[in-house]
Amino acid sequence: MIDFSPEFLNVLKSAKRVAVLTGAGISAESGVATFRGKEGLWAKFRPEELASADAFMLNSALVWEWYQYRRDIIDKVQPNPGHFALADMEKHFKSFALITQNVDGLHRRAGSQNILELHGNITRNKCFNCGKPFIDEINLDQKKPPCCNCGGKIRPDVVWFGETLPQSEFEMANEASATADLFFAAGTSAIVYPAAGLPMIAKRHGAYLVEINIEPTPLTDMADSFMQGKSGEILPEIVKWLRK
Ligand code: OAD
């Protein structure tokens, strides 16, 4: 049983508008490696070296292979108690927005409804050249990106470093953050902008800011409550309080 502060519990009980920003840490307990973790096959690459148009132009097979590797993992894993708690939390508030930087689709699989996917979704593909969605099924053994009718290479429909976020999702995320009275940042290193700016927008507009992470981040000093630990353990405990 986690000992939440009375201040947090008061805010939780009275909140009407809640927004949550999630990052790779929320899927860690499902077995999806985070971007900046030190474990794993791909740890020798920085995310910027793989998740960018420059990287794809330089070595499309390498970038494609990394995404195929991630897709293979995502196919095999299941949402964890953190994902399920957020899907449940949504039912308790008048307004609830789940803003995620994750491309793994696990929030949807856990039953969340109002999801804003700021960095796209790894299950979709599009042409690197003309941008047209590519709807053919991708075989996970495919080592190189297929080609579009226009001759361009196919890439995952995710947002890469240097690219702009999907405009309507980002506008809705901004709005949800600016109008939230309670904001959770869970499992994110809070260093990749513009997503990392959303908790600050929320705080500036008066939201109570809660951070859930296994370790401190650049956001921690600004948080009204820093809950150190695993999101898959802390979020279900929060939902228990909502059910009381
Ligand atoms: P990171 O890998 O940068 O950070 C993951 C965070 O989760 C870290 O702060 C960990 O301490 C924390 N963490 C790990 N396990 C956790 C657990 N069980 N419970 C709670 N927290 C845990 O991932 P993001 O912040 O999502 O962008 O990275 C942001 C963006 O950078 C990603 O969307 C991706 C990446 O490059 C693009 O690909 C454009």
**237, 199: one domain:** yes
- Residue 132's contacts (CB-CB under 8 Å, 6 or more residues apart) are 126, 148, 149, 150
Q: How far is the CA of 24 from the centre of ligand 1 (A)?
A: 4
199 lines ligand 1 (CB under 6 A): no
The pTM of the full predicted model, rounded to 2 decimals, is 0.95
Predicted local distance difference test score (pLDDT) of residue 160: 96
Ligand 1 atom nearest to 82, measured from its CA? 19
C-alpha 243 chain-centroid distance: 25
Domain boundary among 158, 182, 207: 158
**What's the mean per-residue pLDDT of the chain?**
95
Which residue, by CA, sits nearest to atom 15 of ligand 1? 25
Q: What CA–CA distance (Å, rounded) separates 116 from 212?
A: 19
**180, 62: one domain:** no
34: its two tokens: 């985070």
Report which of residues 29 and 42 the model is more confident about. Answer: 29
Closest of 83, 79, 75, 115 to residue 97, by C-alpha: 115
Comparing 18-22, 41-45, 164-168, the range with the smallest average pLDDT is: 41-45
pLDDT, tens only, 125-178: 999 999 999 999 999 999 999 999 999 999 999 999 999 999 999 999 999 999
Whether residue 40 is predicted with pLDDT greater than 70 in this model: the reply is no
**196, 206: one domain:** yes
**27, 63: one domain:** no
**198, 235: one domain:** yes
Q: How far is the CA of 184 from the centre of ligand 1 (A)?
A: 14
The DSSP code for 151 is S
CATH of the domain at 131: 3.30.1600.10
Closest of 116, 112, 117 to residue 90, by C-alpha: 112
